[in-house]
């Protein structure tokens, strides 16, 4: 492998770790937003679907992680191997510092997108009420948009931060 291919592979590794950390930050933000949303909808007297969405979000990631590890180790499916098998990292210290694992990244990504789908369904359900407080009605939209914006900006910031740390030997 020549130097150019190695540099491209390192950039992809940095990008993968940055996306993983951005996903983790967005996950924590989503947990806090859903807890606050549960409190607000409960206080307003509406059914708190956000608690169910939070529960599914918290339970789905470990279930998917375990299932992907177990199923991919027992079967010789190329698609599952591509989703779960970690390629050899050139920047192994980066992988250890940020606790990156491809299985965990895949499981959290799937659960994040499934939670976004549940938030859309919650919005559709809230629109069926006739006289609803606009603050309660637009909660799912605010959560979805803020999660997407946070994930994009956190990914950019982490990518820049990792590059800076690598250039100054801080990792």
For the chain, which ranges sit under pLDDT 50? Answer: none
Query: What is the tens place of the pLDDT at every residue in 72-121?
Result: 777 777 777 777 777 777 788 888 888 888 889 999 999 999 999 999 99
Query: Both tokens of residue 158?
Result: 């982490």
- Give the pLDDT of residue 19: 94
pTM: 0.87
SS3 124: helix
Per-residue pLDDT at 41: 85
Question: Tokens 């951005």, residue?
Answer: 22
Domain ranges of the chain: 22-167
pLDDT for residue 79: 78
Average pLDDT, rounded, for the chain: 87
Where b means 16+ CB within 10 Å and e means fewer, 110-137 reads bbbebbbebbeebbeebeeeeeeeeebe
């Amino acid at each position: 492998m020549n130097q150019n291919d190695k540099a491209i592979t390192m950039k992809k590794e940095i990008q993968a770790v940055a996306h993983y950390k951005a996903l983790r930050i967005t996950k924590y933000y989503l947990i806090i937003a859903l807890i606050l949303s549960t409190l607000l909808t409960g206080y307003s007297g509406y059914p708190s679907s956000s608690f169910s969405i939070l529960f599914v979000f918290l339970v789905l990631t470990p279930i998917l992680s375990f299932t992907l590890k177990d199923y991919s180790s027992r079967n010789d499916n190329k698609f599952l191997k591509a989703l779960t098998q970690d390629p050899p990292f050139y920047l192994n210290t980066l992988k250890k510092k940020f606790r990156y694992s491809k299985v965990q990244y895949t499981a959290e990504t799937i659960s994040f997108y499934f939670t976004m789908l549940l938030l859309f369904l919650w919005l559709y359900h809230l629109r069926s009420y006739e006289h609803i407080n606009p603050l309660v009605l637009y909660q799912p939209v605010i959560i979805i948009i803020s999660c997407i914006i946070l994930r994009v900006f956190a990914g950019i910031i982490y990518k820049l931060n990792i590059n800076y740390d690598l250039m100054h030997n801080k990792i």
